Chains A and B, each alone.
Chain A
Amino acid sequence: MKPGDRLVSNWLFLLTFMVFGMVAGGGHARTIGASFIMQDWAPITGFIPPLNAQGWARMFGLFQQTAQYQAHPISLIQFKALFWPMFLDRCWGRLMALVLLLPLALFWSRRRISHRLALWILAIFAAGGAQALFGWYLVRTGLQPGVLAPPPAWAAPHFIAAMFIFGALLWTALAIRTPEPARIEGAAVLKPWANASIALILATMSFGALVTATNAVTVYNSFPLMDGNLVPPSLLSMHPGWVNFLNNQATVQFCHRILATLTALTVLTTAVLGLRAEPMPPAARDAFLLLAGLVALQYLLGMVTIVLGSANLGFFHELNAVLLLAAAINTRFHLRGASPRRRVRKTFFFEKKNQKTFINLANGQLHQHGPE
């Protein structure tokens, strides 16, 4: 495998981008309320949509068994309008599988990629397959009585799992594009900051997914207070207590707000530290700049979303969160070659002997003197 193989890295960047598209498609389907619309999963042949009235009747009939339909019956025409976005999202997933498997087979058989890398990409493929299966069970919850929308305990892990696949693909693509990390003297202190940024972004995104899943965007449409309170009174109104952190609109929105502020402060601090650090190669510096810009935009989008109570704007807030995560991963990637600052060795008057040794060491002559 040749170092910095652009074809291979471009292929993986394409896959990363396709995961982003999948998030957009899935988020859109959820925003319009189409999550339960296809109560049918044929992994291979499912790319063929219903072709005749009989096919449509069968598909519609399956949806009619859901609690969502029984609570809010819709016509066949409305059903079709909801069907296509969900259908497209699933076809996009199948396309992703092809875009992963076919080039993989080609690159692997021609030894253009190492066994190690091929196995790693296969593992990512398996994770994608598991994610599809998980998604299918998520859709099946629509058949349970009283379940009108994807349950938070299902929807949020589905989203976060997608983020892990996204991150793994992005990191792999970046590592193939630039296999040799650029040495950055003294920037090692930034690594934990970048790691904390990524962890906090993921934690905030988890609660963001819960805000979406509980439709909490429709409540407490005020900022910075939540309807006049710093902490909403119904914070722990559900029993047992942990359920609040999944299903209570007030709790998940509160956690999302607090984590978002903490994340924004951490990410901005990381960016300022990175932008002031010297030396910093231009590519790494731009990574920090992008990170700062996206987190500021993200906070602003979040504020406007909650004040307007707009699920549509929340969708764009979600997409920008994925971009922000990508920027944070990119930043961390650029810090791979960061090393601790070299200590300036101080010598004291009583260290004359050591100083001599130190100078000899610097001249590479230590072996000539031997230990004294």
Chain B
Amino acid sequence: MSQAVLAAQPRHTHAATPENRRLVALWLFAVCFMIWVMVGIGGFTRETGSGLSIMNWDPIVGALPPLSTAAWNKLFALYQTIPQAQILHQGMDLAGFKQLFWPEYIHRLWGRLIGLVFFLPLIGFIVTRRIEARLIPWLILLFIMGGLQGAIGWFMVASGFDPNSIAVQPWRLSLHFSFAMLLYVSVLWTALTVSAPQAVPYAGLAWLRRWAVAATVLLAITMFAGTFVSGTQAIKIFDPAHGVGVGMPPPGWPDLGFFTDKATILFNHQALGFFTALAILATTVLAIRGNAPAPVRDAGLAIGGLVILQFTLGVTALVSKLLDIGVAHQMNAVLLLTACLVLLHRLRGAKG
């Protein structure tokens, strides 16, 4: 086929061939996977308290780590001026600083890499006309949102340099994570729709979709509440011997600070997690007992299995106070959200 014939055809009919759709979906799923890894790296950065180790934000030049001793010393000297260094890390040497530095650096580098993996194929797909025209503005918007997420990250880190501050402000951390989830959900839904453009009009399953929507909304709220547990490291106050953090509202609840009091934050996340688990398990049971077709049933099974794992990980993180398990809990939350969205996507054409 000559170039002239190609150009004469309407754009979308050329773009939406199965091969092209498969390619675009694969690319978007890869971006989703990279965001998921980013959540893990971000959680690890939070866990190690290393988020404040780089005091400047150079979106392009910052991709290079310090390459000379002088550069290291300059960065270290800058770090020593912030309150966290003076309060928590008195007498830290350069080796200790490097340990603090790398997680934050890798977190930022991975973000730049996601930007590249999103941007370069996008340009390539546009130029080779492998992508549907209506998707292009949407994907460009997603790319801009990705850049905005980097800026929000910096906005969050900057709050950690306030006087007497040893960590970033929890609400800014929550904003950073929530915006990441917004991006993730947008990319994932786009990928799912590109890979399965036709909604299957399952008859008699609209009720199940309502359950799935409710479960997903509850999950989103619980994850939002979870960001404050992470932001304040509230699991550190767990003390079963004195009844602190064992699933009971703390004395004075709910008049304590909803987003500042650690016991309140912990309880809110626990209570929401409990009801979310019930809603998701109910959705699983209803999908299975309602003889849902195999794709819906399998997504229902996935949310059921992942929520059991998620609840177990949550309890384990709490009782062990191991922040590593907290990070696993956070990453599994994203998997659970993924499974919920897959279920919703498969049910999007459900009728009656």
Contacts and interface: CB of A to CB of B under 8 A. Distances in A.
B305 interface: yes
Given A223-B319, A307-B319, A275 B312 contact: no
Contacts of A222: 319-320
Interface of B: 240, 281, 285, 288-289, 291, 294, 297-298, 301, 304-305, 308, 311-312, 315-316, 319-320, 322, 325
A278 B322 CA distance: 41
15 contacts: A222-B319, A222-B320, A224-B325, A268-B308, A272-B305, A275-B288, A275-B301, A276-B298, A276-B301, A282-B291, A293-B281, A293-B285, A300-B315, A303-B312, A303-B315
B313 to A, nearest CB: 10
B316 A224 contact: yes
Secondary structure of the B contact surface, majority rule: helix
Contacts of A276: 294, 297-298, 301
A285 B301 CA distance: 13
Contacts of A224: 316, 320, 325
A113 interface: no
Contacts of A304: 315
A225 B289 contact: no
A289 B289 CA distance: 9
Interface string A281-298: 010011001001100100
**Closest 3 A/B residue pairs (Cβ):** A307-B319, A296-B308, A223-B319
Contacts of B294: 276, 278
B312 A272 contact: no
A117 B345 CA distance: 54
A307 B247 CA distance: 14
Q: Which among B311, B315, B325 has the greatest number of chain A C-beta atoms within 10 A?
A: B315
Given A275-B297, A300-B315, 11 more contacts: A223-B319, A223-B320, A225-B322, A268-B308, A285-B288, A293-B285, A300-B312, A303-B316, A303-B319, A307-B240, A307-B319
A30 B308 CA distance: 32
Contacts of A268: 305, 308
Nearest to B281: A293
A275 B302 CA distance: 11
Interface string A220-238: 0011110000000000000
A275 B285 CA distance: 10
Contacts of B316: 223-224, 303
A218 B312 CA distance: 22
Interface in A210-268: 222-225, 268
B71 to A, nearest CB: 39
B274 to A, nearest CB: 11
Contact of A299 (B297, B298, B301, B312): B312
A95 interface: no
Nearest to B285: A289
